[in-house]
Amino acid sequence: MKIICIGRNYAKHIEELANERPESPVIFLKPDSAILPKNNPFFIPPFSNDVHYEVEVLVKINKVGKHIAARFAHKYYDEVGLGIDFTARDVQALCKEKGLPWEKAKAFDGSAIVGQFFSKTEFDLENLSFQLLKNDEVVQDGNTKAMLWKIDELISYVSQYFTLKKGDLIFTGTPAGVGKVKENDELIGIIEDQKAFQIRVK
């Protein structure tokens, strides 16, 4: 399986990092080795002093598809969830400065937190609220209605480049409020009123 991540999909997050608003979705990939095994703590990697959390709505692809029209995209997923796209912001800044790919900053072991999935029928996907709590304080408070590109548009766009396969995950971008993690932080992800993950930083 593969993990396809969308960058810069919420205007306020683009502003907080002083990035340019893209004309089309920004895409990058994480390998399956990036997924943090269930119940493991997240270890801050030794090559970074500035690892940020980015809470994101996840979509799990349920069948093979290529060149999917947005109006048919809803047939390609049954479940949505919540996760974290951990980002070594200092490493990413160097990559950006040099015009290099982001993988060292984004795709390292443990950089993908994949929480519990829920049937998409439980939610209004156009108005889905989600939060990240750090040590019991809400640090990110998002809603899919603020996405620049909606889930079905993302699936359509991504499938022009990559064949989607059953089990692939799409990380749909983070809202504002990203920040640094430190040792012993506890991160809890909430989607509507349900807990999707809880992890400890080491």
User: Which among 116, 104, 118, 115 has a CA at the least distance from the CA of 31?
Assistant: 104
Q: Which position among 174, 177, 190, 199 is part of the footprint of Mg ion (CB under 5 A)?
A: 174
Part in contact with Mg ion (CB under 5 A); list of ranges 19-27, 50-58, 142-150, 160-168? 50-58
- Segment interacting with Mg ion, rule: CB under 5 A, options 35-43, 111-119, 155-163, 170-178: 170-178
Q: In the set 36, 42, 83, 85, which binds Mg ion (CB under 5 A)?
A: 85
Q: Which is nearer to Mg ion, 19 or 184 (CB)?
A: 19
9 lines the binding site for Mg ion (CB under 5 A): no
Spell 44-71 as b/e; 16+ CB within 10 A means b.
beeebebbbbbbbbbbbbbeebeebebe
Instruction: Examine residue 54 and tell whether it contacts Mg ion (CB under 5 A).
Output: yes
Identify the three-state secondary structure at position 45.
coil
Sole residue written with tokens 């399986």: 1
**185 belongs to the binding site for Mg ion (CB under 5 A):** no
Report the nearest approach of Mg ion to the CB of residue 69 (Å): 26
Helix (H, G, I), strand (E, B) or coil at 165: coil
> Strand, coil or helix: what is 138?
strand
Interface with Mg ion (CB under 5 A)? 54, 85, 174
